[in-house]
Amino acid sequence: SLPHIADFGLAVSENTQSLLAGQVAGTPAYMSPEQVRGEAHRLDGRSDIWSLGVIFYELLTGRHPFWRGRIDACIDEIQHREPKPPRQIDEQIPRELERICLKCLSKDIKERHSTAADIASEVRGWINGTGADNQVTDGVTPITKSSVISNRWLALLAVVVLVTGVLVVGSLIFERTGD
């Protein structure tokens, strides 16, 4: 079955964030580690990057990185277990897309992409042939973009770029309108 995006989470302004200290709210399977711990003071756009990473992982692999059928187990896995690298599930997944996805799912908030625009830039780099997959290493010529991109990857990238664009535009609108 195809994944469907039905919930973009909770909109919380920086002014009301301090009022939520210790509270946990959201869809557990898409919540970042800091969110499941109730650390509202640490929530920023990088928590949204985590959620986008979960969606990206699902699109790459066809499965959720942490959900195993129970909310408490999912929350524990989000906090304590690294997701299985997508290429261990499907070796045809391009390394660069795996790297971008896993960076979104870093437990350390400082290790994640700072903005959705950063993710879009890295995906565009991969599409344009300037990503890490396209670098020559040890004298081995990289796989050409045309030999890797199939309809599946184009559809996936279209969804990632669309969701990233929605997040960027939504955050700009939210910043301009305030609370």
Task: Give 72-85 pLDDT, tens digit per residue.
Answer: 999 999 999 999 99
> What CA–CA distance (Å, rounded) separates 2 from 15?
37
- Tens of pLDDT along the chain (179 residues)? 555 445 555 444 455 444 444 455 567 889 899 988 888 777 888 988 999 999 999 989 999 999 878 899 999 999 999 999 999 999 999 999 999 999 999 999 999 999 988 998 898 888 888 765 555 444 444 444 444 455 566 666 666 766 666 666 566 565 666 55
CB atoms within 10 A of CB 158: 10
> What CA–CA distance (Å, rounded) separates 40 from 86?
30
pTM for the predicted model, two decimal places: 0.67
User: Which has the closest alpha carbon to 52: 117, 105, 122?
Assistant: 105
User: Which has the closest alpha carbon to 175: 12, 31, 25?
Assistant: 12
DSSP β-bridge partners for residue 140: 137
